[in-house]
Amino acid sequence: MNLNGKNAIVTGGSIGIGTSLALGLAKAGANVALNYRRHADEANAVVAEIKKMGRKGLAVKADVASFEEAQAMVKKVVEEFGSVDILICNAGINRDAVIWKMSEEQWDQVLGTNLKGYFNYIRAVAPLFREQKHGRIINITSINGLRGKFGQSNYSASKAGIIGLTKTVARELGSSHVTVNAVAPGMIMTDMAKQLEQKWIDAATAETVLGKLGEPEDVANLVVFLASDAAGHITGQVISVDGGQYI
């Protein structure tokens, strides 16, 4: 896939799947900006890798849950790169608890980051994309937004909300030649996932039909495709990357 000359934003690009997304876009030719809230060293390390590929890289401290900080980041990226062509909404958190024990704070934190955070960045780029008559928006959701997950009512609700947001914005921006799609990973073997108890890894693996869990690069490969011209007639879709974990 060729993304030469394209400018991308990846939220949550300093760690986990987000790092693979940022590096995958850069490898395909894109300049990449990413935000961070706490992981400054990690964000700067990702930017350094992007620059080694001969691309422009930018790390911006911004809380995705803040409408104003999202607006400011997009403005800064336009100032630095000249434009924005691709938005990857990826930043997310989890605060797990069964519904009868979940606090209001746990609910609000997850919905504020995982769902409102996506709105904030989509809202920030939408006027630009409409004006330039092109753009790619790719939202990272989860199979748990499709099926629900015990102990994750807040997380699953946020990820289901992202699917509804994706389909609606695809309708709203379609006339401006902007595609909007969602990618729904199953369990992916990030550094965080590798720290889980083995019984949880084994349980997730047993759910797959391929008998293995995905790697961050599996998600990045699909995101790069959806960001490219090759995916120009695909919009409003939710594509799972889960080895058949949820069929």
Query: Could you tell me if residue 99 is inside a domain?
Result: yes
Closest to 178 (Cα-Cα) out of 221, 121, 135, 230: 135
Poorest-pLDDT segment among 53-57, 93-97, 126-130: 93-97
Query: Could you tell me if residue 233 is inside a domain?
Result: yes
- Cα distance between residue 232 and residue 222, in whole Å: 14
Query: Could you tell me if residue 245 is inside a domain?
Result: no
Query: Could you tell me if residue 183 is inside a domain?
Result: yes
Q: Is pLDDT of 192 > 80?
A: no
> Which one from 36, 118, 155, 246 is the annotated catalytic residue?
155
Q: Is pLDDT of 12 > 90?
A: yes
Average pLDDT over residues 150-174: 97
- Cα distance between residue 245 and residue 209, in whole Å: 6
Query: Could you tell me if residue 189 is inside a domain?
Result: yes
Q: What is the CATH number of the domain that holds 102?
A: 3.40.50.720
Average pLDDT over residues 125-152: 97
pLDDT digits (tens, 9 = 90+) for 234-244: 999 999 999 99
Query: Could you tell me if residue 234 is inside a domain?
Result: yes
Do the beta carbons of residue 181 and residue 236 sit within 8 Å? Answer: yes
In this prediction, residue 204 has a pLDDT band, given cuts at 50, 70 and 90, of very high
Query: Could you tell me if residue 80 is inside a domain?
Result: yes
Would you tell me how many other CB atoms lie within 10 Å of the CB of residue 55? Answer: 23
pLDDT at 16: 92
Q: Is pLDDT of 89 > 80?
A: yes
pLDDT digits (tens, 9 = 90+) for 23-51: 999 999 999 999 999 889 999 999 999 99
- How confident is the prediction for the chain on average, in pLDDT? 96
Pairing of strands 7-10, 178-185: unpaired
pLDDT at 215: 96
> Is 155 annotated in the active site?
yes
User: Residue 51, SS3?
Assistant: helix
Model pTM score: 0.96
What's the residue count for the chain?
247
pLDDT at 193: 82
The C-alpha R_g of the chain, in whole angstroms, comes to 17
Query: Could you tell me if residue 247 is inside a domain?
Result: no
Both structure tokens of 117: 């955070």
Range of the domain at 11: 7-240
User: How many independent structural domains does the chain possess?
Assistant: 1
- Cα distance between residue 143 and residue 136, in whole Å: 22
- Long-range contacts of range 37-43, CB-CB < 8 Å, 24 or more positions apart? 37/61, 37/62, 37/63, 37/64, 39/14, 39/15, 40/14, 42/14, 42/15, 43/13, 43/14
Q: Give the position of tokens 């960045």.
A: 121
